[in-house]
């Protein structure tokens, strides 16, 4: 798998996203549709970069701010930018229980430290799983 292509510029791991994985799994696709309360036909995503930063399932009609910024600057990931981290990556409580958006900065730091391939193969899944199922520890 081309992990660079299947990782959003903001650090989200598209290759582990249930919506992306549902493209080849009708049972998962139906479950995602029920969870999001949308028709099963709308549960389609090829990953951020393949969708040019516009995820229709999320109601987007144009690329997100991060994608536009990265395209304008000619960078692969936000962590490649001298302005990293910036307000485009600000964490939010809204939808934090359903979406992994608050993992972006952590993922980007790991990508910068480990490289995208090693991060994708050894850490991305555990970061996502810990975010949604792990217990907070000090």
Give pLDDT tens digits along the chain (138 positions): 999 999 999 999 999 999 999 999 999 999 999 999 999 999 999 999 999 999 998 889 999 999 999 999 999 999 999 999 999 999 999 988 888 999 999 999 999 999 999 999 999 999 999 999 999 888
Residue 115 located in a structural domain: yes
Phi-psi region of 95 (alpha: psi -120 to 50; beta: other; left: phi over 0): left
Q: What is the dihedral of CA 118, 122, 128, 132, to 10 degrees?
A: -160
Asked whether residue 9 is assigned to any structural domain, the reply reads: no
What pLDDT sits at residue 50? Answer: 97
Cis peptide before 67 (omega within 30 of 0): no
Q: Establish if 1 belongs to a structural domain.
A: no
Kindly report each contact of residues 62-71 with a partner whose C-beta sits within 8 Å and lies 24 or more positions away, as own/partner.
64/10, 66/8, 66/9, 66/10, 67/8, 67/9, 67/10, 70/9
Asked if residue 103 belongs to a domain, the reply is yes
In a domain, 5, yes or no: no
Q: Is the pTM of this model over 0.85?
A: yes
- For position 97, what pLDDT does the model report? 86
Which two tokens mark 95? 């939808």
In a domain, 2, yes or no: no
Q: At what angle do helices 104-114 and 124-133 cross, to 10 degrees?
A: 160
- Note whether residue 64 is domain-resident: yes
Number of compact structural domains in the chain: 1
Structure confidence at residue 93 (pLDDT): 92
Residue ranges making up the domain that contains 62 = 14-133
User: Residue 70: which of 60, 84, 59 has the closest Cα?
Assistant: 84
């Amino acid at each position: 798998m081309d992990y660079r292509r299947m990782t959003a510029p903001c650090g989200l791991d598209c290759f582990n996203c249930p919506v992306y994985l549902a493209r080849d799994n009708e049972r998962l696709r139906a479950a995602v549709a029920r969870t999001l309360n949308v028709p099963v036909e709308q549960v389609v995503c090829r990953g951020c970069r393949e969708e040019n930063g516009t995820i229709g399932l999320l109601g987007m009609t144009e690329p997100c701010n991060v994608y536009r910024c990265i395209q304008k600057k000619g960078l692969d990931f936000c962590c490649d930018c001298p302005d990293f981290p910036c307000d485009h990556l600000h964490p939010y409580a809204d939808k934090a229980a359903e979406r992994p958006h608050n993992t972006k900065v952590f993922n980007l730091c790991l990508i910068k430290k480990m490289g995208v391939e090693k991060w994708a193969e050894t850490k991305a899944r555990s970061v996502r799983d810990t975010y949604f199922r792990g217990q907070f520890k000090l």
